[in-house]
Every structure is written in structure tokens, then in C-alpha cells.
Amino acid sequence: MSTAESLLVPSLRPMSEADLEYVMEIERSSFSTPWSRSSFQGLLSRDDASLWVAEVAGEVVGYAVVWYVLKEAELGNLAVDAEWRRLGLGRRLLDWALARARERGTERIFLEVRESNLAAQELYRRCGFLRVGLRRRYYRAPVEDALVLCLELLRSS
Ligand SMILES: CC(C)(COP(=O)(O)OP(=O)(O)OC[C@H]1O[C@@H](n2cnc3c(N)ncnc32)[C@H](O)[C@@H]1OP(=O)(O)O)[C@@H](O)C(=O)NCCC(=O)NCCS
């Protein structure tokens, strides 16, 4: 663990409406087709979805979104503010989301990732996700295939 990472202990807590201003800033600067504010609002009102933020010194620096379908889950979104990347925050958010999913008894979690998004793919690979599928032309702007990744939560910790 680097010195920067060891000093950086974010607090992880559920997202609230009040966070959306900061979340939307990160979302718009992280994705070419960002989610709308109403997408986050819709998920915040659902019992079958969990949204968390990572805060450092009172500032929202990243977030993760998971929704659940029976014993399976989908990691729907994960992003860290560009100025705070490579400090271990994405990993902490992901580990947190996986731990909460395990607590709910979730057996496996899926996600889609752009074929060109090697940073995210490396993070997921290091957490044990395996490629289980390909969705052709899944993304817009630019059009690109999605890799479908899966982590068996009962076989990993
Ligand atoms: C993907 C993302 C969330 C990673 O967040 P992060 O806080 O920078 O990630 P971490 O610092 O926790 O990195 C953990 C590991 O992931 C891998 N990783 C992260 N960024 C990487 C990069 N740019 N290149 C290669 N590997 C990378 C490394 O293995 C890293 O460990 P290391 O720093 O010890 O080498 C962040 O880059 C991001 O927000 N990207 C834009 C949004 C996005 O693509 N989200 C995922 C959609 S599927």
C-alpha cells in the first residue's frame, strides 16, 4: 500500500438526494453518456437498489450503485472523481459494495464494462471478476461492445 493510499481512508455511507449535485459532477466528467439526475433519484427510492458514496474530508469523491434481482445483483455504476483516482478509492467502494451484497445473501454479481475501459477491467480482474459474455454494440458515443463480467460471491471473499 502506498503512503498516499494508507493516509486516504474514505468514509463510505449511503447516498442521499443531497449528494446528487456532487455525484452528477463526477458522473458527467466520467462517462460520455452519463446517467441523468432522475436515474439516480429513481434508484434512491427503490428498496432493491443500494447507492453509496465515498467521502474524503467531507467531499464526495466517488460512488457505487448496485441493484438486486433475487439472488443476483448488478453493479450498475462505479466512478471516482478524476482528481482522486489511483488512490485505492475505486477498490474500497467496490469491496464495500461486494461485502454488502454478500450480507444480503447475493450469490453472484454482474456488470458491463466498455471493451476499451482497461482501467476498470483491471480493477474488476483484481477483485476476481471473470468475463462471461459480450454484448455487441451495447454502448453509444462511441458505439462499442460491452464485456459482461461476473463474480461468484459465495466462492470469493
Ligand atoms: C475505474 C475507476 C472507478 C477506478 O477507480 P480508482 O479509484 O482510480 O481505482 P483504484 O485506485 O482503487 O485502483 C485499484 C486497482 O485498479 C487498477 N486500476 C485502476 N485504474 C487503473 C488504470 N488507469 N490503469 C490500470 N489499472 C488501473 C489497478 O490494478 C489498481 O491498483 P494499483 O493502483 O495498486 O495498481 C476510475 O478509473 C473511474 O472512475 N473511471 C471512470 C468511470 C468508469 O470507468 N467506471 C467503471 C465503469 S464499468
Domains of the chain, by residue range, sit at: 3-152
Q: Give the pLDDT score at 9.
A: 84
CB atoms within 10 A of CB 55: 15
Residue to substitute in 74, 123, 138, 144 for testing ligand 1 pocket (most ligand atoms within 8 angstroms of CB): 123
* Smallest CA separation from ligand 1 atom 43, residue: 79
Nearest-CA residue for ligand 1 atom 8 is 85
Query: With the CA atoms of 131, 79, 135 and 128 taken in that order, what torsion angle do they form, in degrees rounded to the nearest 10?
Result: 10
pLDDT in tens, 77-105: 999 999 999 999 999 999 999 999 999 99
Res 3: pLDDT: 46
Catalytic residue set: 112, 124
- Where would I find the beta strands (DSSP E) of the chain? 11-14, 49-56, 59-69, 72-80, 108-114, 130-139, 144-152
Residues of the chain where predicted confidence (pLDDT) is lower than 70:
1-7, 157
Q: Which CATH architecture has domain 3-152?
A: 3-Layer(aba) Sandwich (3.40)
Q: Residue 17: how many CB atoms within 10 A of its CB?
A: 12
